[in-house]
């Protein structure tokens, strides 16, 4: 079980993760804790999809909407810790609103490994 370490940044403590308020942020933190790197992000859109779809799986039952602006802002808070840990993250999500990582296609990213 991982303890909630807050919303901003990225934890290097094996017993906690930073949530960022979204599952993508948590997944990034778990990948870092597991020793992952380089990390290629896929599906990190941080914006509405076609037909105003808010999630790949459809709406939440309570109709809560993601706060895309907050997702982008909290993802930016990960970069100092990623730099400190020497973990390279590349955004391979076409059209993503997340702007704090270098961008690439998934094919180019995989070829660089």
Over residues 11-57, the pLDDT tens digits come to 999 999 999 988 899 999 999 999 988 999 998 988 876 677 666 66
Q: Which domain holds residue 21?
A: 3-107
Q: Does some domain include residue 8? A: yes
What is the pLDDT averaged over residues 4-8?
95
What's residue 62's pLDDT?
78
Q: Does some domain include residue 112? A: no
Q: Does some domain include residue 113? A: no
- Asked if pLDDT for residue 63 goes beyond 90, the answer is no
d(C-alpha 106, C-alpha 72), whole Å: 20
What's residue 105's pLDDT?
98
Q: What is the pLDDT of residues 69-106, one digit of tens each?
A: 999 999 999 999 999 999 999 999 999 999 999 999 99
Q: Does some domain include residue 18? A: yes
d(C-alpha 94, C-alpha 108), whole Å: 13
Q: Does some domain include residue 92? A: yes
Domain count within the chain: 1
d(C-alpha 60, C-alpha 40), whole Å: 27
When pLDDT is cut at 50, 70 and 90, the band that residue 66 belongs to is low
Percent of the chain, pLDDT > 90?
Answer: 72
Q: Does some domain include residue 84? A: yes
């Amino acid at each position: 079980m991982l303890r909630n370490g807050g919303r901003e940044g990225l934890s290097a403590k094996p017993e906690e993760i930073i949530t960022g308020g979204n599952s993508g942020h948590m997944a990034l933190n778990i990948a870092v804790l597991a020793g992952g790197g380089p990390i290629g992000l896929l599906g990190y859109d941080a914006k509405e999809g076609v037909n105003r779809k808010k999630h790949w799986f459809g709406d939440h039952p309570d109709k809560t909407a993601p706060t895309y602006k907050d997702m982008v802002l909290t993802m930016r808070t990960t970069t100092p810790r990623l730099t400190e840990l020497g973990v390279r993250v590349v955004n391979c999500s076409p059209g993503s609103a997340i702007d704090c990582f270098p961008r690439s296609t998934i094919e180019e990213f995989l070829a660089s490994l």
